[in-house]
Each structure stands twice: as structure tokens, then as C-alpha cells.
Amino acid sequence: MSGPGFPDPADTFRVEAADVLNEVEQALLDLTQNPHDKDLVDAVFRGLHTLKGSGAMFGFDDLAGFTHHCESAFDQVRKGAVAATPELISIVLSAQDRMRALVAGEVDEEKQNRILAQLGEAVAAASDQGASDQDASDQGGAQAETPGAGEAGGWRVRFRLPADCMANGTNPLFLLDELRELGECEIALLTDRIPPLAELDPRECHLGWDVTLKGAIDRDDIEDVFIFVMDDMELSIEPIGAEREKALEQPSSSTREAGRASAETNATAGAAPADGKAQPGKAAGDTLRVPAERLDELMDRVGQLVIAQSRLSQIAHGNVDLALRSVSEEIERLSGELRDTMMVMRMVPVSTLFGRFRRLIHDLSEETGKAIALSTEGEGTEVDKTVIERLFDPIVHLVRNSCDHGLETPDQRRTAGKPESGNITLSAHQAGGEVVITIRDDGRGIDRDRVRAKAEESGLIKPDQVLSDQELFQLIFHPGFSTAAQVSNLSGPGVGMDVVKRTIESLRGTIEVASEPGEGSTIALRIPLTLAIIEGLLVRVGEEQYVIPLSSVEECIELSLEDDMRHRGRSLISLRGALVPFLRLREVFASGTKPDPYQKIIVVSTGAERVGLVVDQIIGNHQTVIKSMSAFHRSAASFSGATILGDGTVALILDVPQLVSLAQQQEERLQAAG
């Protein structure tokens, strides 16, 4: 059922299919490292089985038909007839990309047929290896009776489903139909646990089933019927004629060996957990899937509430009515708590970002012929979901550059005394109101001479210009800058590095680069935790008010009129033995007003760089709801946004990295003139 207030079932399927495909991809990538891991093979098979069945149920027939071939291939892997070779896994990964397209409704029969032909060839090649592995296994000792071998007499299957099975989307009739398809079937109903009518809950399942299956049937095929409900049910599978049958209350332990799959994983079982992974022991109602746009809308409402609360506080502050002040303080407390709760709801762990790079590294390793390993650190660090979405493309560029420019070939690494496999490390940690995401490689490092030569050739710097390492490395983010000797699919003019810088700066972030010859390079991205509401320092310059992000503020010091006049020649202050340049915002913004007698210097930092900003007055802390600037005002490089103050006036939010860059340029001009 769809319509106002009801989600389109096809849209629900697409969301859940994306979760299943992500889990399948991670299992396939793990399988490349552990090709004999039965649990991983089972996980891939379960995911493909779910996708096929759910796709057919929701009308995605092309997807169901295509996925069926991959499921059949992994069914043979699961039964030991086919080996999980790198070639087979690689083709199924390519098939998985096609499945994503089919979920989106993009049918390309030519591509699908080509992948299926490659899949058939890979299965044929892998079947020989699987047979060899099986023969070697058989020769390793006495051949024990295989639990999944077909029983000529048949099986007796007794099962009970959890009481809330139907609320989770499990239909017992479907399970019985699947059992009937396996062979001659007799079904007896177990009614011994039906409670008295007065205690009966019609929403719960109180029945059990005693099924006799006759014929040569594999035990694995029976277990497959219950693969998605196995964790929570009571199940006994015994050969007909066995001397002793297990009691109904003692589920067969061998049925657990097929792997664990929560009911949430099945697309018919309702919403999946927010992180896309099954949560053992959690009830289906413990998690709720909410469309991202609803969170964005709620965040906007919370922002409006914070602005209204700020107005109320300003009115109450100048009022003698104690009751009004009390209500204002209570609303301020509640709006603060609501804001914090809303921020937490929008936070997602960076593992959702880092996990997507495992496939990229796998593909780059095949494309470049280099052995590349990916390691991650700090995956539990949480960032606003909007930030996560916008960080993916920049990090893709940086990872591709590290693989192409940074890492050497296996022969070059052996010659340098390094392990053949290069390593890319993605790490994240929180630092105040920022998250620092680092991309590190253990390759050859950045060639300073080549960077400098290219910069001089491009006219970016003068031949005799003195630059620090940080200043030199920042040149690689200039549009069109590239030191690649040969243009390839991975490297070429610009390699998108200028796009990386623009994207990070649009997130109010900064980029820091470090490198050691022969040891590798490290690129650190410093990004605000959220883009919606920040703590700011409200200041006055002339008649106007501005907001400085509090996460950038280090300290505030006083600048008297005499000190201001003394520093007219060069705008530098000595701060605990270090010279710090400063900007007079009154002059930068051409306010046309005289300075206050006692101005303030607010020392801000972006990474290792520090700059002082001279203002007339510090008004105080301010919960800043960030509003986008119009296209006309967006060209003003000194501002990153705007906010509405309690009295309804607008205050511009200062872009600290841009102001730091402006101060450095001003200092360079003074040095050149001096």
C-alpha cells in the first residue's frame, strides 16, 4: 500500500536491497583473504538468496533472474563443488554492481549476458579446483558421514516459530510450501501450546509443525528453508528411523553451522537496523528507519527553535518579570537538549565511509598490478551524515592518488627493502569540534624537487622563493597541477585535487600535508563535526556583528590604542615567544569607523597556522544556526555563511581559513616590501 503517509513498497525494497548488497560486497571482499571460510560463503549465499526472493516479490523480475545465476554459483561453492577462486569472486563483484543498477531500474541485457558468460567460465574453471580440493580432503583421513548427504528414507522435521514471527513478516505457509517442493511431504499440526481463549493473543503464533519428508533429500536443502529464521526458532531435523529423536525444545546444533542470519536481514521482515547490520538479541522495534530528508527537515525546525529561543532570551534579559525570565531559562535548557539530541541523531560512524573503500582498493590493486592492503583506525568516530556524504568523493581522489603516485610496484618495494604489499591507512579521531580524517600511505613520498619544478614552470612561485614544506605541498591542490609522468586512468591533469580542496573548504575544513622521502605521505582533513548548528563567538566590528566559529578560537587578548599604533608598520604580535600576524577586521571590511579605545585580538588557528583577528568588542558565546548565503554574496571569500540573531538582525559567519590565508598574503607582501 502506498500513498500519502505510506511509503512506496518498491522504495522500501530499494533501501533494504542496498543494505543487503553492501553486506554481500563486504563478505566477498573478506572472502578474497579467506577463500575457505564457510561462514563467509554462507553469508554471500544468504544475501543473494534474499535479494533474489525479495526482488521477485516486489516485481524486480530482471534483478531476480540475474541474481539467481550468482546464487546458484555460490550454492555450488557452499556445497564444495566449486572453489571460491579470486576470478570467481571478482566476477561476482562485477555482477553485484549490475545488481545495483537493476535495483535502480537500469536494465542492460548486453552487459548482463556478458557477465553471466564470464560467470559460467569462472564456475567451470573453479569446479575443477573444487573437485581437487575435495579429493585432497577425502584423502586426509577416514571419510566421515556428511551431515548434508541425502537420506534415502527421508527426514522428520519438527519446528516452532517465535511468537512474533508474523509481525516480523514470516509466513509459515511459505515455509511449508518450500518443504513440499523438496519431496513427498506429510504435515501434522502441533497444537499443544495453544493457551486458553481468555489468554490467547491473536497476533502471536502458538502452533508447531511435524513434517515427514520422504525421498533422497539433502539436509542442507532443508536447512536452507529456515535459513532466515533459524536463530529464533525451535528446529529438529532427524533421519526417519533414527533410534532416538531429539526433544522439540532442543534445536539441532548442526543447524547453526549454516551461519547466522537475523530476521531483519530478510526484506520481508520489516525495516533493517540503521547501520545496515543485524543486531542479535534486539527486537524488531528497537530500530526505526527514517528517510534522511525528514531528519533534515527536523533539523531545520530545531534551528528555527534555537533562533526563537535566542529572541526570547534577549527580551527576557531586559525584563523585570521573574516569571518570564524563568520560562526563558527553561526553554533555553530544553532547546539546548533538543539540539544536542538532534545532533546525535544525525551522527553516523565513519565506518560507513571507510567500509566503501575496501572495494575501491580491491579494484585499484587489480588495475595497477600493485599489491595494496587497506587498514582503518578510529572507525567508531561519529560525524554528521551530511559531512560523511560530501567527504566520499574527495577521499576517493586522495586514495587513488596515493595508490598511483605514492605506492611503488612490488619490484620497486623489494629493491627499497619494503614488503611487497603497500599499505593505505584511513584513520579518524575527534579533536574538539572537529574530526580529523587522515589518508596515509607507506610509499615513496612526495618528490619536493618535482613539485617545485612544476610550480616554477607553471608560474605559481618564483625560482628563488623560499617555501616551507606545508606551503610547497599545498601547491598540488592548484587547478591543473600534476607531476604525473604519464597520464593514466588514475592520474592526469589536476587529478581533481583542486576539486578536493574546494570541497573541503566548502565544508569549512582544511587540508594538511606531510611527507617523508621513501617513507610515505600523510594527508589530514580537518572537518567540523556538523554543518547545521555550531557554537560561535559573537563579536562587533564597527557597527556590524560577526560570528567566529568557537572551534577555531584559541584565546583572546587585549590590544590597546597605543599598541595598535605601535604595530602600524607590521601587523605582528609576540605571543609567548612566537610572532603571530594579525588582521584589523575594521580595515578588511572597510567599516569606516574609528577603533574602540580597547580593541580585542582573537587568536584563531587552522592546523599549525595562527592568526589574530582585531575586533572592537567581544559580545559572547552564541548558538549559531548556519544559513546559506545567496549566490550574490557567496563570492565574498571572507564569509562561510550567515545566522539570524535574537533581535532579528543578520550576522555573517567568518571563514577562518580564508582570513588566515589573507593574513599570510599580507605578511608576505610586507616582507617583500621590507
SS3 231: coil
Backbone angles phi, psi at 427, to 5 degrees: -135, 160
What is the DSSP secondary-structure string of 63-80?
A: HHHHHHHHHHHHHHHHTT
pLDDT at 99 over 60: yes
Query: How many domains does the structure of the chain reveal?
Result: 5
pLDDT score at 257: 35
Residue 274 lies in a domain: no
Q: Does residue 344 share a domain with residue 356?
A: no
User: H or E segment at 654?
Assistant: strand 650-654
Q: Does residue 469 share a domain with residue 387?
A: yes
Q: Give pLDDT tens digits for 480-529.
A: 776 555 545 554 434 468 888 888 877 878 888 989 888 999 999 988 77
Report the candidate in 93, 81, 184, 179 with the shortest Cα–Cα distance to residue 131: 81
Measured on CA atoms in the order 382, 384, 385, 390, is the torsion positive or negative? negative
d(CA 33, CA 365): 14
Q: Does residue 374 share a domain with residue 438?
A: yes
SS3 450: helix
Report the candidate in 127, 146, 128, 150 with the shortest Cα–Cα distance to residue 138: 146
Q: Does residue 544 share a domain with residue 515?
A: no
CB 559 within 8 A of CB 599: yes
Q: Does residue 365 share a domain with residue 340?
A: no
Residue 144 lies in a domain: no
Q: For the chain, give the longest Cα–Cα distance.
A: 104
pLDDT score at 166: 75
Residue type at position 437: I
**375, three cell numbers:** 587498514
SS3 317: helix
Residue 2 lies in a domain: no
User: Going edge to edge, which strands form the sheet with 434-441?
Assistant: 372-377, 422-431, 434-441, 520-528, 510-516
Q: Give pLDDT tens digits for 276-331.
A: 333 333 444 466 777 777 887 888 888 888 888 888 888 888 788 889 989 988 99
Q: How high is the mean pLDDT of the chain?
A: 78
Q: At what angle do helices 61-78 and 86-103 cross, to 10 degrees?
A: 160
Measured on CA atoms in the order 66, 69, 70, 71, is the torsion positive or negative? positive
Whichever domain contains 447, its CATH number is 3.30.565.10
pLDDT score at 278: 37
For the ranges 223-237, 395-409, 555-569, which has the lowest average pLDDT?
Answer: 555-569
List the domain range (segments joined by +) for residue 78. Answer: 9-134
For the ranges 7-21, 152-166, 235-249, 582-596, which has the lowest average pLDDT?
Answer: 235-249
Please give the C-alpha separations between residue 452 and each of 123, 482, 537, 592, in angstroms, as whole numbers.
52, 11, 39, 42
Please tell me which residue, 228 or 652, carries the higher pLDDT value.
652
Q: Does residue 355 share a domain with residue 336?
A: no
Which residue, of 494, 528, 562, is where some domain finishes?
Answer: 528
Please tell me which residue, 448 or 3, carries the higher pLDDT value.
448
Q: Does residue 364 share a domain with residue 340?
A: no
pLDDT score at 275: 38
Residue 474 lies in a domain: yes
Q: Does residue 261 share a domain with residue 313?
A: no
Percent of the chain with pLDDT over 70: 80
Buried b (16+ CB within 10 A) or exposed e, 449-462: eebbebbeeeeeee
For the ranges 6-15, 210-219, 368-377, 595-604, which has the lowest average pLDDT?
Answer: 6-15
Q: Does residue 430 share a domain with residue 366?
A: yes
Residue 284 lies in a domain: no
SS3 569: coil
Whichever domain contains 129, its CATH number is 1.20.120.160
pLDDT score at 374: 92
Return the CA Rg of the chain.
Answer: 32
d(CA 333, CA 341): 12
**337, three cell numbers:** 537538549
| Cα separation of the two ends of the chain | 76
Cα-Cα-Cα-Cα torsion 198, 201, 204, 210, nearest 10 degrees, comes to: 10
Q: Does residue 423 share a domain with residue 445?
A: yes
d(CA 446, CA 484): 11
Residue 424 lies in a domain: yes
SS3 620: strand
Contacts of 12 (CB under 8 A, 6+ apart): none
Whichever domain contains 180, its CATH number is 3.30.70
Buried b (16+ CB within 10 A) or exposed e, 561-585: eeebeeeeeebebebeeeebbbbbb
SS3 53: helix
pLDDT at 349 over 70: yes
d(CA 67, CA 240): 35
Number of other residues whose CB lies within 10 A of the CB of residue 625: 23
Q: Does residue 541 share a domain with residue 661?
A: yes
Number of other residues whose CB lies within 10 A of the CB of residue 198: 5
Residue 427 lies in a domain: yes
Report the candidate in 454, 451, 487 with the shortest Cα–Cα distance to residue 469: 451
Residue 611: beta bridge partners?
A: 604
Residue type at position 8: D
Which residue, of 528, 555, 590, is where some domain finishes?
Answer: 528
pLDDT score at 633: 63
Whichever domain contains 584, its CATH number is 2.30.30.40
Which residue, of 104, 134, 164, is where some domain finishes?
Answer: 134
Beta strands in 287-371 (DSSP E): 347-349
Q: Give pLDDT tens digits for 637-670.
A: 678 778 877 667 788 888 887 787 777 676 666 6
d(CA 49, CA 53): 6
Residue type at position 367: E
pLDDT at 445 over 60: yes
pLDDT score at 7: 61
Q: Does residue 97 share a domain with residue 176?
A: no
Query: What burial class does residue 552 get, using C-beta atoms within 10 Å of its C-beta: 0-12 exposed, 13-18 middle, 19+ buried?
Result: buried
d(CA 10, CA 8): 5
Residue 287 lies in a domain: no
Report the candidate in 497, 75, 24 with the shortest Cα–Cα distance to residue 277: 24
